[in-house]
Chain A
Amino acid sequence: MISERPLRIAIVGSGPAGMYAAGHLLEGPGGTFINGGLNQIVRRPVEVDVLERLPTPWGLIRSGVAPDHPDKKRMAAIYDSIARRQGFRFIGNVQVGRDVSPADLSQWYDGVIYAVGADDERRLGITGEDLRGSDSARAFVSWYNGHPDFSDLQFDLRCERAVLVGNGNVAMDVARILFSPISALHNTDIASHALDALGKSQLKEIVILGRRGPEHAAFNYPELMELGELADTAISVEGADLSLTPENADYETQLKVAALAKLCKEKSQGSRRIVFRFNAAPTAIVGGGQVAQINVVDRRDQSEQVLNAGLVLAAIGYRGLAIDGLPFDDVRGVIPSCDSRIVDNGIAIAGAYVTGWIKRGPKGIIGSNKKCARDAVTAVMVDVDSNLLPMEGTLSAAQVLEAINARVSVTLGFSGWQKIDRQEQSDGRAQGRPRLKMTATGAMLGLVTAG
């Protein structure tokens, strides 16, 4: 049975995975890259609603990617052009699992693709983790990027030493932002509350802890090299001998370790210092109310050391957050799936799909989600053709909006976001900045609803 009406799909989350899924569903004239070439994978009209819990779209492009990486922030332009395609609708300020349930969505739509990312974090699990001055790198990153859930946080940087636990790319971003000149950050869209706090920073040293040796360091080469570009900043290594990297390490590892050794040699002087400390695990964070020190054990000889520090940030990974009404793999922190189809106890739930970090876990860069979303859309199309989608009782676009607005007092469409976007850019221009982010949901919704 071929229906006359367009296929109606909801996508939950407007980050890279969700927006690439929308892009593939509303396939451009060029087609989709699959099986080694551009091919058409969608052969019927489709309407897509992207539901986003924030008033602002683009997920971690806005709230994760570092503000001093404007090239990467330009990915927003790609998603913006997808949002302008026929059949696309953005519905902001709707949280699935709270405002509407997965059961509602499966009734209202032919199919639902969950692309909710990783809205939680892994914890250290050591004492003192909840002291003031100790937080996750995720909170710090979200704060400097102006994510409304984190904008009320206070990070006091008037201390000498910060310790980052974990040495992946997020730790590199944090270290670089902490030591970037304020004049350079002023030219980015970093949140103004973060600019103020960074302006008062007295940090002299950042220690980056890695549990294992340099051959297992999680950072990538480009992010490491950017630390080397920081002025007046010495770089050193403790807890490992860089000349002992195993000969059998792969090329990327050899490249990274050689680059780190070179940086240590070339950047031995500076009034500030970044210390890569390997084979080190934190055992406790200590302080009376506020962080004063972190205890670290050298995993080679079990010797203990105390580091005085006023700020401790755990950069040990983002993690998926369970959504009420959907299965969740609590060990991996993902929604369990098979070939992008959500499975509950091994059985696929009809019309429910998953893509992006909530499917694969918090790994892979922006483009990894494009292929991932393509595969989810391919699964949707296979299931439509096999009559596996629950297409009875699907609501029209107007009916869905009515149903959502009956439960959420204010939602916004893409034009609402464009209004916020224009406001941020003009506020930015007034201060000689590319953008002045709005960081409070209430103010954003107020702007959208004001005439």
Chain B
Amino acid sequence: MSYVITAPCVADYSCVEVCPVDCISPMPDDSGFDAATQLYINPVLCVDCDACREACPVNAIFAEDQLPEKWLDYIGINAAHFQSHTQTVAEVRHDK
């Protein structure tokens, strides 16, 4: 399983501050941060510790199996952030 960041995210990186394995991206000093429209959790590295969900001020984080139906697509959106560009673009086109 993994944790997943969804639509309400305001990129205030409270989750980054508490994540024990640094699996949330972009971090505030990464080049992509200022333009980021949300942050993402790397599903391969996440250890399901729940710390980020507790820290999030806007309830944007859910355990994958607790995701509201309308945000199920954020599983793929979070994962895609950590995959290579060509691969994910192919997936988006395939979905369509």
Q: Do A and B bind each other?
A: yes
Interface residue A2 (Cβ < 8 Å from any Cβ of B):
no
Interface residue A69 (Cβ < 8 Å from any Cβ of B):
yes
Determine if B57 and A36 form an interchain contact, defined as CB atoms under 8 angstroms apart.
Answer: no
Residues of A within 8 A of B36 (CB): 365, 368
Complex formed: what's the CA distance from A229 to B7 in Å?
Answer: 14
Contact with A along B2-37 (1 / 0, CB 8 A): 000001101111001100001000011100011111
Residues of B within 8 A of A365 (CB): 10-11, 36-37
Complex formed: what's the CA distance from A15 to B15 in Å?
Answer: 21
Interface residue B47 (Cβ < 8 Å from any Cβ of A):
no
Residues of A within 8 A of B8 (CB): 69, 71-72
Determine if B89 and A367 form an interchain contact, defined as CB atoms under 8 angstroms apart.
Answer: no
Determine if A254 and B29 form an interchain contact, defined as CB atoms under 8 angstroms apart.
Answer: no
Of the listed stretches A74-82, A83-91, A339-347, A380-388, name the one at the interface; the rest are far from the partner chain: A74-82
| Smallest CB separation, B5 vs chain A (Å) | 11
Determine if A251 and B34 form an interchain contact, defined as CB atoms under 8 angstroms apart.
Answer: no
Complex formed: what's the CA distance from A360 to B33 in Å?
Answer: 13
Using CB atoms, name the residue of chain A closest to B83.
A251
Residues of B bordering A, CB below 8 Å:
7-8, 10-13, 16-17, 22, 27-29, 33-38, 57-60, 70, 77, 80-81, 85, 88-89, 92-93, 95-96
Residues of A bordering B, CB below 8 Å:
30, 33-36, 38, 69, 71-72, 74-75, 77-78, 220-222, 225-226, 229, 247, 249-252, 254-255, 258, 261-262, 360, 363-368, 370-371, 374
| Smallest CB separation, B37 vs chain A (Å) | 5
Residues A367 and B92 in contact in the complex (CB < 8 Å), given A35-B29, A229-B70: no
| Smallest CB separation, B88 vs chain A (Å) | 5
Determine if A367 and B37 form an interchain contact, defined as CB atoms under 8 angstroms apart.
Answer: no
Determine if A33 and B37 form an interchain contact, defined as CB atoms under 8 angstroms apart.
Answer: no
Complex formed: what's the CA distance from A371 to B10 in Å?
Answer: 12
Complex formed: what's the CA distance from A38 to B16 in Å?
Answer: 10
Determine if B96 and A262 form an interchain contact, defined as CB atoms under 8 angstroms apart.
Answer: yes
Residues of B within 8 A of A251 (CB): 80-81, 85, 88-89, 92
A-B contacts, 30 of them at CB < 8 A, read: A30-B17, A33-B13, A33-B28, A71-B8, A71-B59, A72-B10, A74-B57, A75-B12, A78-B12, A78-B57, A221-B37, A225-B7, A229-B70, A251-B80, A251-B92, A252-B37, A254-B88, A255-B77, A255-B92, A258-B92, A261-B96, A364-B34, A365-B37, A366-B11, A366-B12, A367-B10, A367-B12, A368-B34, A370-B12, A371-B33
| Smallest CB separation, B43 vs chain A (Å) | 16
Residues of B within 8 A of A261 (CB): 96
Residues of B within 8 A of A367 (CB): 10-13
Determine if A254 and B92 form an interchain contact, defined as CB atoms under 8 angstroms apart.
Answer: yes
Residues A38 and B12 in contact in the complex (CB < 8 Å), given A251-B80, A371-B28: no
Closest 6 CB pairs of A and B: A367-B12, A367-B11, A222-B7, A366-B10, A258-B96, A71-B8
Residues A250 and B57 in contact in the complex (CB < 8 Å), given A38-B17, A367-B11: no
| Smallest CB separation, B59 vs chain A (Å) | 6
Determine if A72 and B58 form an interchain contact, defined as CB atoms under 8 angstroms apart.
Answer: yes
Determine if B34 and A360 form an interchain contact, defined as CB atoms under 8 angstroms apart.
Answer: yes
**Residue of B27, B80, B85, B96 ringed by the most chain A CB atoms within 10 A:** B96
Determine if A75 and B33 form an interchain contact, defined as CB atoms under 8 angstroms apart.
Answer: no
Residues of B within 8 A of A249 (CB): 89
Residues of A within 8 A of B35 (CB): 363-364
Residues of B within 8 A of A220 (CB): 37
Complex formed: what's the CA distance from A258 to B85 in Å?
Answer: 16
Using CB atoms, name the residue of chain A closest to B59.
A71
Residues of B within 8 A of A34 (CB): 29
